[in-house]
Structure 1
Amino acid sequence: MSAADPVLLRERLSPSAPVVLVAAALGAVFGVILVPLSLIAAVVVAVVLAVAAAVGVVLLSPEVVVARSELRAGPASIDPALLGAPEVLDREAWELAMGQDFEPLAYHCTRGWMHGGVRVPVLDPEDPAPAWVIASRRPEQLALALDAARRA
């Protein structure tokens, strides 16, 4: 993606506040291990690991970027010209796509705390993935951006 290529949509799949709090709590639990050795060391380790876990789950969250020449979801990217029409997956359709209708060969960029997204068929016969399934808090906007990128 070049600087001249306008970004149509950018979304970070970051966790909600409760998920960050759970990650922080899990990080802090490791400080308990050190209580028999030193209470001060246990508290310091608990605080450091709680902060590290909370920051980690946010900073390591994948980003979805749609530009005219590229769709990037997490570490993977594809030319939008190689994609079919996106299908918006509401909560019910998302649960089916992640459950009984799961496509193991499709490329998935999903997170457990997200309950919607899009499914985009791949039209390239050389690509082993039949589709991309991408989580989003704004699936309708993602689908519109993908349509615009496909037409460009």
Structure 2
Amino acid sequence: MSYRERLWPAPWIYIATALVIPASLLVFLPIDMIVGIIVAIVLYGGIVGLLLFTTPTVEVADGVLRAGRARLPLSVVGEVVAAKGADAVRERGTGLHADAWLLIRGWIPDVVRVELVDPADPTPYWLVSSRRADELAAAISSARA
């Protein structure tokens, strides 16, 4: 394996989702305090569990790029470009092709654009979020060569 990354949620996501605690307390405390506390804990635990359970993995190994559940043979990969800052914003926004395949996480600012050279595939490229975009792009390029 030449590269592996889990796209874990940023810490602020856990803080933001903690707002479900006071919201559920506001609804259930007038009914029963114990029920309100239990519902708040269960809801927040469920949200955190769902965030952790659905965290995708990006991996380059054995001639394949795996992004979440999707797999792409490196034999159909063309140019690979890491985009950061304003370039990444453009790639995810105005520069995004409607047919592109996406694995984007809003809490990860950088992306890697993986061009496809398969004429039978209508997808022009994959756009994958990565906290280490340069490393992922280098791993794809070196594994392809």
Q: TM-score, normalised to structure 1's length?
A: 0.89
**Which residue is 2:103 aligned to?**
109
Amino acid at match of 2:126: W
Amino acid at match of 2:68: G
Equivalent runs, 1:79-90 vs 2, <5 Å: 79-90=73-84
CA apart distance, 1:112? 0.7
Amino acid at match of 1:119: R
Instruction: Give, in whole Å, the separation in 2 of the partners of 1:129 and 1:26.
Output: 38
Give the conservation status (yes or no) of the 8 Å contact 1:73–1:109. Answer: yes
Instruction: Give, in whole Å, the separation in 1 of the partners of 2:55 and 2:21.
Output: 17
**Which residue is 2:135 aligned to?**
141
Give the match's secondary structure for 1:88.
strand
Give the match's secondary structure for 2:112.
strand
Of 63, 66, 74, which aligns to 2:68? 74
Give the match's secondary structure for 1:132.
strand
Amino acid at match of 2:108: M
Give the conservation status (yes or no) of the 8 Å contact 1:68–1:80. Answer: no
Q: TM-score, normalised to structure 2's length?
A: 0.93
Instruction: Give, in whole Å, the separation in 2 of the partners of 1:56 and 1:29.
Output: 19
Deviates more, 1:103-112 or 1:49-58: 49-58
Give the conservation status (yes or no) of the 8 Å contact 1:27–1:53. Answer: no
Instruction: Give, in whole Å, the separation in 1 of the partners of 2:121 and 2:65.
Output: 15
Instruction: Give, in whole Å, the separation in 2 of the partners of 1:80 and 1:28.
Output: 48
Instruction: Give, in whole Å, the separation in 2 of the partners of 1:124 and 1:38.
Output: 61
- In structure 1, stretches of 5+ residues that fail to align are 1-6
Instruction: Give, in whole Å, the separation in 2 of the partners of 1:55 and 1:28.
Output: 19
CA apart distance, 1:22? 1.3
Query: How many residue pairs were aligned?
Result: 145
CA apart distance, 1:58? 2.2
**Considering only aligned residues, what root-mean-square deviation do their CA atoms show, in Å?**
1.4
Instruction: Give, in whole Å, the separation in 2 of the partners of 1:18 and 1:43.
Output: 23
Per-residue deviation, residues 37-74 of structure 1 (Å, max 9, x unmatched): 21110111101111221232122111101113211111
**Which residue is 1:60 aligned to?**
54
Structure with bigger strand share is 2
CA apart distance, 1:26? 2.7
User: Residues 68 and 27 from structure 1, CA distance in 2 versus in 1: closer, same or farther, beyond 3 angstroms?
Assistant: farther
**Which residue is 2:28 aligned to?**
34
Percent same amino acid at aligned positions?
A: 30
Instruction: Give, in whole Å, the separation in 1 of the partners of 2:93 and 2:6.
Output: 24
Instruction: Give, in whole Å, the separation in 2 of the partners of 1:108 and 1:27.
Output: 32
Structure 1 segments, 4+ long, off by >3 Å, are none
